A and B are shown apart, each in its own frame.
Chain A
Amino acid sequence: MKFYRMHVLVAEDTRSIMAGAKRVEEALKEEIRIAGLEDEIRVVPTGSLGFSDKDQVAIAIYPDNIIYCPVLVSTVPEIVKEHFLKGRIVKALAHPMEQKEVTMEERTSENQMNLDIQKRILLQNVGKIDPENIQEYIAADGYVALEKALFDMSPEKVIEEVKTSELRGRGGAGFPTGLKWQFTRPNPGPVKYVICNADEGEPGTFKDREIMEGDPHKMIEGMILATYAVGGTHGYIYIRGEYALSIQRLQKAIDDCYEYGLLGKNILGTEFCFELCIHSGAGAYICGEETALINSIEGKRGEPRKKPPYPPSQGLWQKPTLVNNVETFANIPAIISNGGEWYQSIGVEGSRGTKLFSLMGDINWKGTIEIPFGTPVGDIIDNVGHGVRYDRQLKGVILGGSSGSLLVPEELTTPVDFHALAHIEAGPGSGSIVVMDETRCIVDICLNIAEFFRHESCGKCTPCREGTAQICHLLEMIASGNGLPEDIDHLEKISQTMMDASFCPLGQTAPSVLRQALKKYRQEFLDHVHGNNCPAEVCNMNFTEED
């Protein structure tokens, strides 16, 4: 293998590519070639470097530990000539922690994350390795866990480790992963499926994408380990059709795995065989529900099935099937490498390990973060998100996506863990944190969420199909100044019915933000229906008193 004295890592996640990262990569290669340095300096695309809220291209230089951001095609020649050729750092082009030298450490602590709070296990390689190069993943101790499992551990032992780790599913429901595996293993049959749920569609969620674009092998290794543990034979990655870059990188990763004997027949020379392929969805939020997802792979409408039977006994084509989320699988390699007890030492009682969150809304820093369970929501907003934008007042936080919960500022001392959040009728859900400042109108936010669910309800059961439409209609009336006081009661009744009677979690959780809003921000709804007044002046109240 060639030795390079310098590596230039170009952030090439979806957002950076949007900002022109590919063009910068080409320019770098061209300039390096012109300077005659192509045998000394290697340009490597990598995942997000953590500047994901800006329309800017960032590059990291190793071993110099320098970040240039923003990099334009027009500034590339200067960087190459000055820094790469002459060894002088171009301070003016370095990331604006204003003209002082910006090192990896500073970037890490100041810009991207407060290291006291964050802990990177899942995102360990993101922004450091080339996601399209299996050798780099292997060099970063990739597939070590698989080797360990295949040669030193029985499948039962793998399940035991995962149980010891107390890992809970990261798809939203939080079911103990080890237990799910244990249920799946004894079910007999020559064919058993393992499915990765990569149908990340919860509004305000983009954390799985970070793994798939930045370190796809980690998730695949987790899947192979799971398959070994439950005795699986075939696997699918069910991914949203809209995630073009993720699909491309996963496909490359799968192809490389086949070539390296990590997938297919007799993996690493053992008896273990596993066939894995990608199945892309076609735009249906409901397919994130595991039985709907299974129907979708079978080529049907993505409507949920009756449970039981649960997928571990009868799933895809009536065969035993294990379904886990991207993030869940990505946790597995570290658990197997370091042991369940190690993992169990991170986080708090009942919620072990780290959790990815997508941070957005009216906040200073937006992006994907990884924190150990037990960190208070408010700390995440203040220390990682650097507080509310424009020094405004915080109004509330939507936690866990549109089907999640609504937190008022007083509740933000609650630690992020399953138990503590359950006390305030919340949960980490899909891992989305949407911060709202004082200028937001709660009716408007609820209406937007209602419109989403009206569109995404699959129509199979009446409470959800009719409920989502009625809620939307009533909120439209209230938001346009045509609401009546009794509409608030109607909203409460419909919400309750949907929660009690809907067939699947979509309908059961669709009204959850609304229900909490009606409780916690009731006065705002009353202002809308009584005074025809939108206190935040967001809603277009057609018929005011003066008219």
Chain B
Amino acid sequence: MEEKKHLLEQLHDIQDADKEHHLSTKKVVELSEKHGYSPAKVYGVETFYTMYSTKPRGKHIIRICENQSCHMANAKNMIHHLEKKLETHVGGTTEDGLFTLELSSCLGMCSVSPAMMIDDVPYGNLTEDRIDEIINSYKEGK
């Protein structure tokens, strides 16, 4: 009973340790066997939560918010700009495998909207120029 409580945490751990930031079928089956529940159950759990991915993702995950406050601060344009800049679409990964672009529900940074996170780092008051600057800094830093 007690060991089940850590399923979400375990999935986090597996995903964080994975080079491609995702939960592979192989890893999920291993986890299921270890705890004696069906892979279907684990699959059900991992696909329920937005932060888990069954598909391989890029080195950095960009989560951009499109809820109320960000929406009112032109988040849609920022998303389009990111898509253009990264030459991918929401849910996609850049060709060089550096970024995956995802949408997120409210990140709690409404007072500096529009906002996004790259991995654990938050960025607010986004403009097209600022986005270029941020993305370039990651590209140079790789």
Instruction: Give bound CA distance, A298 to B7, whole Å.
Output: 8
Interface residues of A in 263-317 (CB under 8 A from B): 279-285, 296-302, 317
Residue B135, interface by CB 8 Å: no
Q: Are B107 and A242 in contact, with the CB atoms below 8 A?
A: yes
Nearest CB in chain A: distance from B136 CB, A: 17
Q: Are A14 and B125 in contact, with the CB atoms below 8 A?
A: no
User: What's the dominant secondary structure at chain B's contact region?
Assistant: mixed
- A203, A284, A368: the one contacting B68 at CB < 8 Å is A203
Residue A21, interface by CB 8 Å: no
Q: Are A200 and B67 in contact, with the CB atoms below 8 A?
A: no
Interface residues of B in 114-141 (CB under 8 A from A): 117, 120-125
Q: Are B9 and A301 in contact, with the CB atoms below 8 A?
A: no
Q: Are A202 and B106 in contact, with the CB atoms below 8 A?
A: yes
Q: Are A53 and B108 in contact, with the CB atoms below 8 A?
A: no
Q: Are B110 and A366 in contact, with the CB atoms below 8 A?
A: yes
Interface residues of B in 31-86 (CB under 8 A from A): 44-45, 48-52, 63, 66-69, 71-72
Q: Are A282 and B110 in contact, with the CB atoms below 8 A?
A: no
Q: Are B109 and A15 in contact, with the CB atoms below 8 A?
A: yes
Interface residues of A in 50-80 (CB under 8 A from B): 52-53, 55
Instruction: Give bound CA distance, A204 to B108, whole Å.
Output: 7
- A52, A362, A452: the one contacting B112 at CB < 8 Å is A52
Number of interface residues of B (CB under 8 A): 40
Contacts of A204 in B (CB 8 A): 67-69, 106, 110
Known: A15-B109, A203-B106, A242-B63. A296 touches B8 (CB 8 A): yes
Known: A242-B117, A282-B11, A299-B4. A206 touches B109 (CB 8 A): yes
Chain B's closest residue to A401 (CB) is B68
Q: Are A300 and B45 in contact, with the CB atoms below 8 A?
A: yes
Q: Are A53 and B106 in contact, with the CB atoms below 8 A?
A: no
Number of interface residues of A (CB under 8 A): 57
Q: Are A448 and B68 in contact, with the CB atoms below 8 A?
A: yes
Nearest CB in chain B: distance from A405 CB, A: 14
Contacts of B1 in A (CB 8 A): 317
Q: Are B105 and A299 in contact, with the CB atoms below 8 A?
A: no
- A202, A282, A360, A362: the one contacting B8 at CB < 8 Å is A282
Q: Are A361 and B106 in contact, with the CB atoms below 8 A?
A: no
Q: Are A284 and B50 in contact, with the CB atoms below 8 A?
A: yes
Q: Are A55 and B112 in contact, with the CB atoms below 8 A?
A: yes
Q: Are A452 and B105 in contact, with the CB atoms below 8 A?
A: yes
Q: Are B51 and A282 in contact, with the CB atoms below 8 A?
A: yes
Q: Are A362 and B4 in contact, with the CB atoms below 8 A?
A: no
Residue A419, interface by CB 8 Å: no
Q: Are B44 and A301 in contact, with the CB atoms below 8 A?
A: yes
Instruction: Give bound CA distance, A280 to B49, whole Å.
Output: 12
Instruction: Give bound CA distance, A368 to B44, whole Å.
Output: 37
Q: Are A402 and B68 in contact, with the CB atoms below 8 A?
A: yes
Interface residues of A in 170-213 (CB under 8 A from B): 200-206, 209
Residue A458, interface by CB 8 Å: yes
Contacts of A317 in B (CB 8 A): 1, 5
Q: Are A201 and B105 in contact, with the CB atoms below 8 A?
A: yes
Contacts of A368 in B (CB 8 A): 111
Known: A298-B5, A448-B67. A283 touches B112 (CB 8 A): no
Known: A200-B108, A402-B67. A298 touches B49 (CB 8 A): no
Known: A281-B8, A298-B5, A299-B4. A53 touches B71 (CB 8 A): no
Contacts of A300 in B (CB 8 A): 7, 45
Contacts of A203 in B (CB 8 A): 67-69, 105-106, 110
Chain A's closest residue to B46 (CB) is A282
Q: Are A367 and B108 in contact, with the CB atoms below 8 A?
A: no
Query: What per-residue 1/0 map shows which CB atoms of B91-107 lie under 8 Å from chain A?
Result: 00000000000001111
Q: Are A284 and B111 in contact, with the CB atoms below 8 A?
A: no
Known: A298-B4, A398-B68. A282 touches B108 (CB 8 A): no
Instruction: Give bound CA distance, A401 to B85, whole Å.
Output: 32
Interface residues of A in 200-255 (CB under 8 A from B): 200-206, 209, 240-244
**Can you list 18 contacts pairing A with B, beta carbon distance less than 8 Å?**
A18-B121, A55-B125, A200-B108, A203-B106, A204-B69, A279-B5, A282-B50, A282-B52, A283-B50, A285-B105, A299-B7, A302-B49, A358-B110, A360-B111, A361-B69, A432-B110, A440-B72, A448-B71
A contacts, CB < 8 Å to B: 14-15, 17-18, 52-53, 55, 200-206, 209, 240-244, 279-285, 296-302, 317, 358-362, 366-368, 398, 402, 432, 434, 436, 440, 445, 448-449, 451-452, 455-456, 458
A-B pairs, top 9 by smallest CB distance, nearest first, are: A299-B7, A283-B50, A282-B49, A203-B67, A366-B111, A283-B51, A206-B108, A203-B106, A244-B120
Supplied contacts A53-B111, A201-B108, A434-B110, 4 more A-B pairs, CB within 8 Å: A55-B112, A201-B105, A284-B48, A297-B8
